[in-house]
Amino acid sequence: MFRSIKELVKSAEEKNCRISEIMIQQEIEVSTRSYEEIISQMDLNLQTMEQAVEKGVNGVRSRSGLTGYDAKKIQAYMDHQSVLTDQTFVQALCYSIATNEVNAAMGMICATPTAGSAGVVPGVLLAFSKKFEASRKQMIECLFTAAAFGFVVANNACISGAEGGCQAEIGSASAMAAACLVELAEGTPKQAAHAFAIALSNSIGLACDPVAGLVEIPCIKRNAGGTANAIAAAELALANVESEIPADEVIEAMYRVGRNMPADIRETGIGGLAGTETGKRIMKELFGVER
């Protein structure tokens, strides 16, 4: 069993295989389930992602009424205007927003690695799978690549905003998505690790400051930010740009920074954006109290 990114990449290089294959084999060994069962479970996860995106793009409103219908606006923007970048990039943003709007509306999503950061991986994967005309098998395998990197983060640091700030949630999701995209683009395991490290490095210090304690503001739009970061990191890695700090050391640094964060910016709904005048007003309007 691999316990670090270094071990993961080394194993893939020695076996001359993709990172997804290493993760699939580990899942078979640890769970004692068959290859078919493992693939079927991940396909179910992918279906959940696809259904959430479709629902979000059609338009949903959160239970609190604070957020909703932004994914539908982005889709309309793509349908009727010339975008600044390209359709695939904006589609990825749209899908990431859609997923988290469904989460805020209490719909079903696939936590990757958490509910609050669930839009990044599907946003990147589903948009770029269209661009590359990826097969179902390729899409499922790329989710195993994301899972492999997430496995290392969860076992060596944290993925909880309450424990490590939003860097642990959006940061980890963005890094996982970057590695996933590199494999989808047929990059090497080493490039995937560098993409992961670059994306996570870009997120170091990100506060978790949900307004009124709800996973809506700024969480939903932060998924779009994490998506953009993942794409940028993958582009750099595929160009053979490397992270000067190894991926495992970036994970360790993220964990240390999270441990040193004040409680106010670790999912308490007190500091950061939650502590602004508008954030406090929203809290009072919704719950009749101030923090």
CATH code where residue 187 lies: 1.10.4100
pLDDT of residue 289: 87
Mean pLDDT of 74-96: 98
The pLDDT value recorded for residue 284 is 97
Number of domains present in the structure of the chain: 1
What is the pLDDT confidence band of residue 150, given thresholds at 50, 70 and 90?
very high
Q: Which domain holds residue 172?
A: 5-287
Distance CA 56, CA 93 (A): 12
Cα-based distances in Å from 232 to 11, 39, 105, 145, 227 = 26, 29, 29, 18, 9
* Tens digit of each residue's pLDDT (9 = 90 or more) over 209-247: 999 999 999 999 999 999 999 999 999 999 999 999 999
Confidence band, pLDDT 50/70/90 cuts, at residue 255: very high
- Please identify which residue in the block is written with the tokens 């998505």: 177
Average pLDDT in the 91-116 region?
98
Over residues 273-290, mean pLDDT = 95
pLDDT value for 290: 77
Q: What is the distance between the alpha carbons of residues 219 and 232, in angstroms, rounded to a whole number? A: 20
Residue 21 CB coordination number (10 Å):
17
Mean pLDDT, residues 41-65 taken together: 98
Instruction: Give the CA angle between residues 175, 31, 158 to the nearest 5°.
Output: 30
Model-wide pTM > 0.95: yes
Q: Phi/psi of residue 211, each to 5°?
A: -65, 130
Average pLDDT, the chain: 97
In this structure, the number of other CB atoms found within 10 A of the CB of residue 116 comes to: 26
